[in-house]
Amino acid sequence: MSDVAFTYIQPDGEEKQVEAMEGMTLMEAALFNGIDGIQGLCGGICSCATCHVALDQALYDRLEAPSEGEAEMIAMLADHGPTSRLGCQVSINEALRGARIRVLGTEA
């Protein structure tokens, strides 16, 4: 599997470009690269909502829609928006190449 390069915009506005292995999730790649605002407390079972990110509309549309379980979790977050996702539910693939991922840093 190849690496995909994209950028996280951390809650304080600082940008960090990373390269991550395809098949990892946005949450895992964030922990891997020490991105602020992603806690990944539950390890990716869609239970803690501490990996809240916002995507560009175009990217959001290109990815598979969130599952019912993920959508329910997102709906409970005070700062969610129309392109909110949980990073642990977004698999890294070619569609992410060059993407800019805004980290919302939602507290648990």
Partner 1 sequence: MTRVEADPILNQPQIYDPYDYALHDDPYPVYRRLRDEFPLYYNRKHDFYAVSRYADCMAVLRNFRTFINGRSTTLEKEIIPGSLPFILSMDPPDHTRLRHLMVDQFRPHNVAPLESVVRETAQKLLAPHAGTGRIDIIADFAAKLPMAIICALMGVRPEDEDMLRGWTDDIVHREDGSNEIAEVNITGTRSLLGYFEEMIQARLARGEAGEDIVGQLIAFERQGKLNHAEVLGYLYLLAIAGNETTTKLIGNVTYQLWENRHARDRLVADPALAAAAVEETLRIDGPTQMQGRETSEPFELYGHTIPAGSKVAVILTSGNRDERHYEDPESFKIDRGSRDHLGFGGGLHSCLGAALARLEGRVALEEMLKLMPDWDIDLANTRRMHSAYVRGYTHLPLIFTPRSAA
Q: Give the residues lining the site for partner 1 (CB under 8 A).
A: 21, 23-24, 28, 31-32, 34, 39-48, 50, 67-69, 72, 107-108
Q: Cα separation of 108 and 97, whole Å?
A: 29
Give whichever of 73 and 99 is closer to partner 1, judged by the CB atom. Answer: 73
* Smaller CB separation from partner 1, 24 or 59: 24
State which residue, 36 or 100, has the beta carbon closest to partner 1: 36
Residue ranges with strand state E in the chain? 3-9, 15-21, 52-54, 84-86, 100-103
The radius of gyration of the chain's CA atoms, rounded to the nearest angstrom, is 12
- Residue 57 beta carbon to partner 1: minimum distance, rounded to whole angstroms: 26
